[in-house]
Structures are given as C-alpha cells and as structure tokens.
Amino acid sequence: MELLKRAASWTPKTTVYYGWIVIAVGAMGTYSASGSAQVTLAGIQTLIYEDTGWDRSTIALCITIGTWVAGLLTPVFGKIADTHGPRLVMPLTSIIVGGCFFWIGGMTAVWHFYVAYIIARGLGNPVLIGVMPRTVAVNFFERKRNLVLGIVSMARPCFGAINVQLITLVSAWSSWRTAYKLLGVYSIILALPLLIFVRKDPESIGLLPDGTEKNISPPDSASNLGKGPDTDREIWSAGEAAKTFALWAVVAAEFLIILTSGTIGFQLVPYLHESGLSVTMAALAWTLSTLLNAFCNPIWGFLSDIYSPRKLVLSALPMSLGVTSIFLVIEGGYPGFACVVIWGAATGGLNVLGGMIIANYYGRHSFGSISGIMGPFQTIGLGLGPIIGAILYDRTGGYKQLFIFALVAYLVATILFFFARQPILKFSQRAQKPSI
C-alpha cells in the first residue's frame, strides 16, 4: 500500500517548468480525441459517404447528438477539473475513446457509428480537448495565461487537420476504417503517459503558477489581496460570475461564433468539391484553412497577454466579416480554394478569445466551473451547425444562404462583445482568507 502511495505522489523531475510538460502531454490526448472532432469529420465525410452509402444528414445528425452530449457533460467535467483534477479522468477517457475508435473502424451498421461516435465525442471533447485541458493551463500559468490558452486551443484544429490528411493517406493505402483502428490503438496506449505526467495544479507538486517556489505567498492570500487586478479576480465564484452581464454576453457571442464555424466549416469540402475540385484538393484546402486557424490561436493569446482580449476580438470579427462576404461574389473552384484558406486565418482566435476574456475577468480559482457554464452553449452551437448547414443547402440547393447566415451571426457577436465590459466584484462579496 505504501508503495502505491509513493507511486501516486511521484512527479518526474524536469529542467523546464512542469506546466509545459503537462501541456505537452495533454496535447497528445487532444490529438487522440480530435478523431471525433467536427474538423476531422468535415474533412473525411466524403470517404464515409462513399463507403457506406449514407447521406449527408445521417452523419450530420450523429455529430450533432455527440456534440450536444459533450456540451451537457462539460459543466460536470469543469467541476471535476476544479475539485479533483484530471489525473485519473484523462487516462480513463483516453482508453474509452480508443475503444470507440476501434469500434468505428469495424462498424457494420449505422447504430454502431452513432453509439461509438457519441461516446467518443461526449467524453473526449470536454476531457481531452475542452474544459479540462484549459483549466489545467489556467491553473499552471498566470503571466503567460492567454498565450498558453492559445496554444492549448491550437491543438484541436491543428491535430484535426493532421488527422484529415493522415486518414486520407491511410485510406489510399487501405481504408479510412484502418486509420480509425490505428487511432484507437494510439489512444489506449496514451493512457499511461497521461497517468504519469498530468497533474491538477502547480501547488500539488510544490510550485506556484509560472514556476514560483511554494514558500512565496500565493496570489490569493490575505497579504496579497488588493495588490493587483489579477489577485482580485481570483476570488470570483461560478455563482457570482453567473450574475454578471459580461459572462452571458460572452457566452452568447461565442455561441454564435461556434455555430457559424459548424455551419460553414462542415460544408466547405462539399462546397469546393461540387464547384469542380477533386476531393483531395478540397480536403487540402480545408486542412490548410484549419492549420492557419490553429496557428492563429497562440498569436492571439500572446497579444492578449499584452492587450485586452475583448479589444482584440473586436478587431478580429470585422476581418471575419470581410472574408466571409467574399464567398458571396465567387463561384468556388480555385478562387474558392483560396477563400477557404483565408477564411481559416481570418477566423482564427474567435473560438478562444472568449475563454481568454473569461480567464481575465474572473481569474483561475473557479475557471473550470465558470467556463463550464459556457461549454454547453458552445457545443450546442457546434452541434447545430452541421444540421443548419444541411437544411439551408437542401432548401436552397446552394451555399449562398450559409454565408449570409454567417455574416449576420458575426455582426451580432460583435455587438455582444462590445457591451461585454469587465465586471466588478463588490468588496462585500469577496471571500477573504483570515490573516495568519
């Protein structure tokens, strides 16, 4: 028993700040779970259609359900991230997700795909991609918090784009089913490094955020209260945050942004393919778009550590409006290829700047629980996107209405962010610690 306790408390000694180790290993989990991400399914859906004979709506409905399940579970795992941490949850989830991918690779009926995908998406998104990795990032970093959040957020679209290309390549050699079986094996093996390296917060291993030694007074101690805006924000609870207009304005804006991402993004490969490009070229455009979108996340994060993330998102949204409007005056083909790629770069950061605003406004003390409030709305929007896109396409026979929908959503989101000013927690509400 003593040996097990020592093994459980053992932490590898590293020459770099341990927070970077946790982020790197967590990213490996994100790569695994990206096999169920919309960005991946959007890029390979044609391969599944051709193999199974299913129509577009069959895949879209499954993705919608899986995404909504993930949204419902996000507050649960956000609370778990704040209270118990990710050390056991992440490796267990990796094993389950791996088993689901192996099942998808061998499926023989629609319900097989639905069950396996919904489980993989429902668990994998909050635990390996969303709220839990973001909470760990916020716990381990303060000075570079937004940069690290950008890096963490970059992993999902980046790995999704990589998975699109890898699955396509494996499909040319064998089949997309083989690719999912290989991804399943990887996910199961990954459970071991997740168990060994991932930790809840720096305090659990004798550090403070950014690598400060633990003998220094923590930022939220009584002696440090009032010495800076960040220390004041540490004491926000989820209940207090939920009473502020700013939180709900950010939640609504992020809902519209991610709804738009799901509506447009899931249709871009078919859009290019129907305009005359091959499936390979269409998938390449989507991959490049996704990669540029991903690499913009840490750039916006770096800038958010210097400037206000709210001001940055108010700069990014007009760029997205401008690029999206170009789709209305072109007819796809190679101009569409270029526009898809540029759209990815222009919208990069829109899905993460909202989380950075929440971290800046409310601190790290209850970040998992507070961002868990936003999670269901994000995933509802992401789940609705493919369905809305499919409906608009079926009713109009084209894609123009999708882009008009996106322009309206971006405009409303801009207005919401404009009014989402930083809230002030009254001194009487603060839960101060007694002096020692």
DSSP labels, 381-419 = HHHHHHHHHHHHHHHHSSSHHHHHHHHHHHHHHHHHHHH
The verdict on pTM exceeding 0.75 is no
CB neighbour list of residue 260: distance below 8 Å, 6 or more residues apart: 385, 405, 406, 409, 410
> Of 59, 31, 37, 27, whose CA–CA distance to 258 is shortest?
37
Domain ranges of the chain: 18-203+225-421
Q: What is the pLDDT, as a whole number, of residue 178?
A: 92
Contact 283, 168 (CB under 8 A): yes
Q: What average pLDDT score do residues 39-60 get?
A: 80
Q: At 410, is the pLDDT very low, low, confident or very high (cuts 50, 70, 90)?
A: very high
How do residues 281-304 score in pLDDT, each as one tens digit? Answer: 888 898 888 888 888 888 888 888
222-260 burial, b at 16+ Cβ within 10 Å, e below that, comes to: eeebeeeebbbbbbbbbebbeebebbbbbbbbbbbbbbb
CA-to-CA dists, residue 294 to 50, 351, 352, 359, angstroms: 29, 10, 10, 20
> Of 109, 111, 80, whose CA–CA distance to 93 is shortest?
80
**What is the Cα–Cα distance from 60 to 393, expressed in whole angstroms?**
13
**What is the Cα–Cα distance from 208 to 93, expressed in whole angstroms?**
27
Q: Identify the residue whose tokens are 């459980």.
A: 8
How many Å separate Cα 389 from the centre of its chain? 21
Q: What is the pLDDT, as a whole number, of residue 119?
A: 96
Q: What is the pLDDT, as a whole number, of residue 398?
A: 84
Q: What is the pLDDT, as a whole number, of residue 405?
A: 92
How do residues 185-225 score in pLDDT, each as one tens digit? Answer: 999 999 999 998 998 888 888 888 877 655 444 444 333 33
Can you tell me whether residue 213 is helix, strand or coil? strand
How do residues 22-38 score in pLDDT, each as one tens digit? Answer: 999 998 999 888 888 87
Kindly compute the dihedral angle of the four CA atoms of residues 207, 211, 217, 221, in this order, to the nearest 10 degrees: -90
> Of 118, 260, 101, whose CA–CA distance to 166 is shortest?
101
Q: What average pLDDT score do residues 346-365 get?
A: 83
CB neighbour list of residue 419: distance below 8 Å, 6 or more residues apart: 245, 249
DSSP 8-state symbol, 378: H
**What is the Cα–Cα distance from 143 to 137, expressed in whole angstroms?**
12
Q: What average pLDDT score do residues 140-147 get?
A: 85
Hey, CA dihedral for 385, 422, 372, 231, is it positive or negative? Answer: positive
Contact 231, 220 (CB under 8 A): yes
How do residues 95-104 score in pLDDT, each as one tens digit? Answer: 999 999 999 9
Question: Average pLDDT over the chain, rounded to whole?
Answer: 83
Give the best-scoring range by mean pLDDT among 188-192, 266-270, 306-310, 354-358: 188-192
Percentage of the chain lying above the pLDDT 70 cut: 90
Tell me which H or E stretch contains 332: none
Q: At 317, is the pLDDT very low, low, confident or very high (cuts 50, 70, 90)?
A: very high
pLDDT at residue 231 greater than cutoff 70: no
Query: 18-203+225-421: CATH homologous superfamily?
Result: MFS general substrate transporter like domains (1.20.1250.20)
**What is the Cα–Cα distance from 42 to 265, expressed in whole angstroms?**
7
Q: What is the pLDDT, as a whole number, of residue 256?
A: 93
Q: What is the pLDDT, as a whole number, of residue 1?
A: 55
